[in-house]
């Protein structure tokens, strides 16, 4: 399976993640960091069985398994940008985020704890 095409240059994405980690929650940093990290997740866990949604910033499909083609996917993860970046950087644990309802995760493959944190 070919790696997904990158839209956010790595240096720009890493800089945005660092800025967010340093406390800059400006919309442009959050949006860039979210998009970059979704691309990174898709590269590290290629596949189409889980859809990760971080509205309004982006969406990615990842994790090997049955490909979904129509309607609502059976495996969906959704959260806001700040929560996603906290998961990506390790500031928030996956299981804590799910138990505190900061992340909506449905489906048998929607547990991303194996892939997070990314940084």
Between residues 67 and 115, which one has the greater pLDDT? 115
| Residue 39 scores a pLDDT above 90 | yes
At 53 the pLDDT is 97
Helix 81-89 vs helix 27-44: angle between axes, to the nearest 10 degrees? Answer: 50
At 117 the pLDDT is 97
- What span, in angstroms and rounded, lies between the C-alpha atoms of 19 and 49? 31
Average pLDDT, the chain: 92
- What span, in angstroms and rounded, lies between the C-alpha atoms of 25 and 44? 26
| Residue 4 scores a pLDDT above 80 | no
Read off the pLDDT of each residue in 68-79 and give the average, rounded to a whole number: 84
């Amino acid at each position: 399976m070919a790696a997904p095409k990158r839209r956010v240059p790595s240096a720009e994405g890493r800089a945005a993640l660092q800025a967010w980690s340093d406390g800059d929650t400006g919309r442009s940093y959050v949006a860039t960091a979210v998009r970059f990290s979704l691309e990174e997740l898709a590269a590290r866990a290629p596949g189409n069985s889980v859809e990760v949604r971080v509205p309004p910033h982006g969406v990615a499909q990842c994790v090997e398994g049955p490909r979904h083609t129509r309607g609502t996917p059976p495996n969906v993860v959704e959260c806001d940008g700040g929560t996603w970046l906290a998961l990506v950087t390790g500031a928030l644990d996956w299981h804590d985020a799910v138990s505190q309802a900061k992340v909506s995760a449905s489906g048998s493959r929607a547990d991303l704890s194996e892939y997070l944190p990314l940084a």
